[in-house]
Amino acid sequence: MDYKQPEVIYEDEYIAVIGKPAGLIVNRADTAKDVETLQDWVDNKLKIKNSKLKITDETKDFLERSGIVHRLDKETSGLLIIARDYISFLDLQKQFKQGRVEKTYVALVHGKITLPEGEINVPIGRLPWDRRKFGVIPAGRESQTFYKVLEYKKIKYDKKEEDLTLVDLYPKTGRTHQIRVHLRYLGFPVVGDELYAGRKNFKNDRKLLNRHFLHAEKIKFYHPQSEEILEFESPLPQELVDFLSPLT
């Protein structure tokens, strides 16, 4: 899957907020060897203040992640915060842990969510029988997502009409694949989701869209130095706009 270059939406000497395109892996990993990641882009394009910082147990996370405070899945587009120095990194991590960072995602899902808004609060953990996937399991970590229905759509697959729902999502925790797993748990998987939409849905979706329909649209947090409230918004990428436009 080809991807566009990241977009710098805001930057000062302490932080940067970027728009990540779909298709770009965030962090370097053994499973992503010989693949350019967002972390590579950060190292090349942004000046992170780490030249005099020694690697210790405390600074290791900041240095190894190039200041990237949180993550998005490979096919999820949208807003990410990057700290340009160690103190800002610690402050932003603390904000995430304390729930002071407010995030809004938008997703298009299979099916018609009849309740206009609600809460999904079930534990999530890695599935022992498939290490690529996460699911709702008793031994999982507490996970909470609120949602609000935006509008209903219809799509035709092989002459059969199906319901879709456009929905805003507000995760209060940050578990891996949280939104995707929670929506699957409700019975409304994200359109184009390779892991959780089901084989038939995924096959039909990928005829029309080469990614899953999940976008990190808004983020609100406190500047790590000034404590000023910062809010940013990223419009839907063109490929998602183009997918929505012909739907009734």
Considering only CA atoms, which of 175, 172, 160 is closest in space to residue 110?
A: 160
The yes-or-no answer on residue 73 being catalytic is yes
Sign for the CA dihedral angle at 144, 98, 174, 8 comes to positive
Distance, C-alpha 58 to centroid of its chain: 26
138-141 own/partner pairs: CB under 8 Å, 24+ apart: 140/175, 141/173, 141/175
Considering only CA atoms, which of 119, 212, 232 is closest in space to residue 171?
A: 119
CA 49 to CA 72: how far, in whole Å?
23
Q: Measured over all CA atoms, what is the biggest interatomic distance in the chain, rounded to whole angstroms?
A: 62
CB 162 within 8 A of CB 152: no
Residue 9: Cβ-neighbour burial (10 angstroms; 0-12, 13-18, 19+): middle
Name the active-site residue from 73, 91, 193, 205.
73
At residue 90, what are phi and psi to the nearest 5 degrees?
-60, -45
Instruction: Say how many residues make up the chain.
Output: 248
Residues annotated as part of the active site:
73
